[in-house]
Amino acid sequence: MDDLLQEFIAETRETLEALSSEIVAWEAAPGDRARLDAIFRFVHTVKGSCGFLDLPRLAKLSHAAEDVLAAARDGKRMPDTALVDAVLAIVDRIGAVVEGIAADVVVDDSDDDALIAALTRVEEVAVPAPAARVAVAPRAAPRSIRLNVDLLDRMMSGMSDMVLARNELARRLRDDVLDPRVEAALDQLSLTVADMRDTVTRTRMQKIDGLFSALPRMVRDTAAELGKAVSLRIEGSDVDLDREMIEMMRDPLVHIIRNAIDHGIESPARRRSLGKPPTGQICVTARQSGNQILIEIEDDGAGIDVARIAAKAIENDVRSVAEVAGMSPAEKLKLVFEPGLSSRDTVSSVSGRGVGMDVVRANIEHVGGRIALDNRPGRGLVITIQVPLTLSIMSTLIVAVADQRFAIARQAIEEIVKVRGEQVRIDPVGDIRVATVRGRRLPMLPLGSFLEIGQGDPSTLVIVSTRDGDYALGVDDVLDTEEVVVKPAAPAVMGSGLYAGQTLPDSGLPMLLLDSGGLAQAAGLRFQRDIIAADETAAQETANPALLFDDLDGARRAIPLGAIDRVEKATAEAVHRSGGRTRLIVDGATMPLHHVESAALDDALAHGEVEVLRLTDGETECAYAIGGALEIIHLPAEIAPATNGPVLGIAVWEGRALEILDPLVFFLDSGVADTGPVAPLCLLDGAGAAWMDRFLRPVLEAHGYRCTLSPEGEEAPSVRLMMEEDAVAAVPSGAPVVRLRRDREGLADPDSIYRYDRSALIAALAGHARRGGR
């Protein structure tokens, strides 16, 4: 908390310094919109930070100023000199209070209310005498300092020079017979230089965790203030990011998360009525993707109401009616990035007026990044921020081709294999070559001949995975791994599309970082499934393999590998309980989800997701929830049979008894579930019933529902399905109604479900059937 407070003080000081010229300019021209926006942003940021740092006095001051400025932005107030004076008095006071906090001195607050009152009274009354500036208390000695990034850059570059000079010195000295004392001194120098280099590098790099660590507290406080239940999940905290990037990302991230809690996540009661879990989920993920860092902020709230955004844009004169009418839904969505626009009609003290998003985009674009929205009305919003890895340290593999060296990002590399022996075969297929690695066929790209720097057959294959597929990059040798600082190369070099940047490693010779995706594209590699399909006969294992895993109850169990289709993560929303059975929603279909004990599953789901084994016998599919997959083991031939339900038997593995699960029991169980007598009844109602009977009935029946067209049957339906327009006039009955709409974009009614959105429909039905009166 102390760190956060120091950070806040430092930031406020900085902004105030930067703002002082804006303030002067605004005094001269009160009508200047850009100045108004800059000052508005300042008070807005102060307000946001104080709410979260528990500084009620500053919050009060900034909130009052923000209200007035917002009125001025909306054209409800004329920004006259009186208003300017009153706002500036507040800005001055904020500065004084912040200095007071820094020096641990209480600044007299008796006339705060007068300052606030001056804001609202300016129109009728002459301005009260501008409050005398409070004498700034001497600043307390800071425990940390803020450095200019330029200075860090210079330090970094000086450091690299030092490394090069040391290398040169070592080379020169080793030409002669070396005095042991000189050698010892040189070694000492090398150690010190290496140590210094690490330290200097670290001054620029920060774990992104530094950015994320403030989030849990912020989410908790913001959610509490708004009476919402939100759980936050953070992934990828150990991604390294340039310090400057982290600083630039801090405000945008805070704004986005506040917006998500305030505007996105619904209240618990509303969520329950929508069939969502009462606790909203926000997931923040960071990962490195090629030469970009991706930060994803995902919430499962209401998403953005595109229609309201468009209406607001017209209302605020951001766009004309004709302009909005000509916009695609995606363009309308982008209006949220316009200054002075909010989808909310009420103003809250948390995220306010949607002011954040224009600032957010400006900050991100400033560092060469991009921001993208994936809006799912009624189901949530995913905001993806992409910032370049420029200046980031990257872990690379150094490969040699002919007499040149190249770096490849380690995360793109799946495997390195030597071309010799039985494991690897290279066959020419027409004018391309195909590498077969342990039965897996991959298109091959010989780097030397492709770059026209070497002939000869490559001796080593680096299996590289790209977005489109995997391929084998043929190189002469794999030398080393190295952490390098990657910078963009000149346009003429980047323009070739083959390189992701350049770096200067310890050798002192520049090195290029290969862009694995770009290489594949330039070489015209095709990743057709039939070429790279696995050669099954070769891949077959002779022994009796099984997957060892941690079960939900903490025990270690194994299951024969042959039954496993895949291992994947399932979100808590994809798990539904109905009629005492647990089912998993996968791609619009459901399958039985088996697990050890309900309590253990509940615990796992409370974390938002659970790992599942997808099992198949070729016809039936089912899933088994586990704690985590461990490894593939070979079962001994001797298995002591057991008679205990799903346990096939007990095997001894590494001196411990291990329960082997019997997948057949799960499949047997799965068949029963689908024909069970408890299948809920769906009433296909209204004018769309005939359409539903033809198109939806097969889907519904496949998911264990029965359908009827007759509203007067002897059995009360568990749920009614109607088209949106019928539902308005329908006579209410006991059964909950699921409304379907014809258009993909739910402008009129975000709670309805697009009629071809099978997974949403099944999820909604499962939600209702579970709560249904049975």
Partner 1 sequence: MPLFLIACIAGQGVVFDADQVDSVVDIGEVVAVPRAEPSVRGLTALRSRVITVVDTRRALGLEPTASHVRRAVITRQDGHYYAMLVDALEDIETFDMRPMPHVAPKDGRWSRAANGMVFRNGEPLLVLDLAKLVPQPVALVA
**Residues of the shown chain interacting with partner 1 in the complex, contacts defined by CB under 8 A:** 157-158, 160-161, 164, 404, 451-453, 487, 489-499, 502-504, 508-512, 521-524
Closest distance between partner 1 and the C-beta of residue 24, in Å? Answer: 32
Asked if 313 contacts 338 with a C-beta cutoff of 8 angstroms, the reply is: yes
* 108 to 97, 99, 112: CA distances (angstroms): 9, 12, 9
Closest distance between partner 1 and the C-beta of residue 240, in Å? Answer: 21
Nearer to partner 1, 87 or 525 (CB): 525
Nearer to partner 1, 500 or 593 (CB): 500
Asked if 703 contacts 590 with a C-beta cutoff of 8 angstroms, the reply is: yes
Question: CA-to-CA distance for 152 and 135, rounded, in angstroms?
Answer: 34
Closest distance between partner 1 and the C-beta of residue 293, in Å? Answer: 21
Question: CA-to-CA distance for 147 and 155, rounded, in angstroms?
Answer: 11
Closest distance between partner 1 and the C-beta of residue 518, in Å? Answer: 9
Question: CA-to-CA distance for 633 and 548, rounded, in angstroms?
Answer: 6
The candidate with the shortest Cα–Cα distance to 764, out of 573, 598, 608, is: 573
Nearer to partner 1, 517 or 545 (CB): 517
> Regarding beta strands 556-560 and 656-661, do their DSSP bridges make them parallel or antiparallel, or are they unpaired?
parallel
Nearer to partner 1, 498 or 673 (CB): 498
Nearer to partner 1, 496 or 598 (CB): 496
Q: φ, ψ for residue 608 (rounded to 5)?
A: 100, -25
Nearer to partner 1, 158 or 713 (CB): 158
Closest distance between partner 1 and the C-beta of residue 452, in Å? Answer: 6
- Strand partners of residue 474: 446, 461
Asked if 736 contacts 772 with a C-beta cutoff of 8 angstroms, the reply is: yes
Asked if 335 contacts 320 with a C-beta cutoff of 8 angstroms, the reply is: no
Nearer to partner 1, 214 or 451 (CB): 451
Closest distance between partner 1 and the C-beta of residue 458, in Å? Answer: 15
Nearer to partner 1, 341 or 498 (CB): 498
Side-chain half-sphere CA neighbours of 643 within 13 A: 0
Nearer to partner 1, 357 or 486 (CB): 486
Closest distance between partner 1 and the C-beta of residue 407, in Å? Answer: 12
Nearer to partner 1, 90 or 394 (CB): 394
Nearer to partner 1, 212 or 406 (CB): 406
Residues 659-698: b if buried by 16+ CB within 10 A, e if exposed: bbbbbeebbebbeebeeeeebbbbbbbbebbeebeeebbe
Nearer to partner 1, 320 or 507 (CB): 507
Closest distance between partner 1 and the C-beta of residue 160, in Å? Answer: 4
Closest distance between partner 1 and the C-beta of residue 410, in Å? Answer: 21
Closest distance between partner 1 and the C-beta of residue 163, in Å? Answer: 8
Closest distance between partner 1 and the C-beta of residue 497, in Å? Answer: 5
Closest distance between partner 1 and the C-beta of residue 523, in Å? Answer: 8
Question: CA-to-CA distance for 216 and 301, rounded, in angstroms?
Answer: 18
Dig out the tokens for 121 from the structure.
């009274």
Question: CA-to-CA distance for 7 and 20, rounded, in angstroms?
Answer: 20
Nearer to partner 1, 43 or 523 (CB): 523
Q: What is the DSSP string of 547-582?
A: EEEE-TTS-EEEEEGGGEEEEEEEEGGGEEEETTEE
Question: CA-to-CA distance for 245 and 237, rounded, in angstroms?
Answer: 15
Closest distance between partner 1 and the C-beta of residue 537, in Å? Answer: 35
The candidate with the shortest Cα–Cα distance to 410, out of 495, 494, 500, is: 500
The region that residue 678 occupies, defined by phi over 0 for left and psi between -120 and 50 for alpha, beta otherwise, is alpha
> Regarding beta strands 706-708 and 737-741, do their DSSP bridges make them parallel or antiparallel, or are they unpaired?
unpaired
Asked if 25 contacts 39 with a C-beta cutoff of 8 angstroms, the reply is: no
Asked if 230 contacts 282 with a C-beta cutoff of 8 angstroms, the reply is: yes
Closest distance between partner 1 and the C-beta of residue 498, in Å? Answer: 6
Nearer to partner 1, 297 or 512 (CB): 512
DSSP state of 31: T
Closest distance between partner 1 and the C-beta of residue 525, in Å? Answer: 10
Question: CA-to-CA distance for 235 and 212, rounded, in angstroms?
Answer: 10
Question: Would the CA dihedral through 332, 335, 340, 346 be positive or negative?
Answer: positive
Asked if 256 contacts 360 with a C-beta cutoff of 8 angstroms, the reply is: yes
> Regarding beta strands 470-475 and 440-446, do their DSSP bridges make them parallel or antiparallel, or are they unpaired?
parallel
- H or E segment at 484? strand 477-485
Nearer to partner 1, 460 or 502 (CB): 502
Nearer to partner 1, 162 or 589 (CB): 162
Closest distance between partner 1 and the C-beta of residue 524, in Å? Answer: 5
Q: What is the DSSP string of 263-296?
A: IISPPHHHHHHTTS-SSEEEEEEEEEETTEEEEE
Q: φ, ψ for residue 648 (rounded to 5)?
A: -75, -40
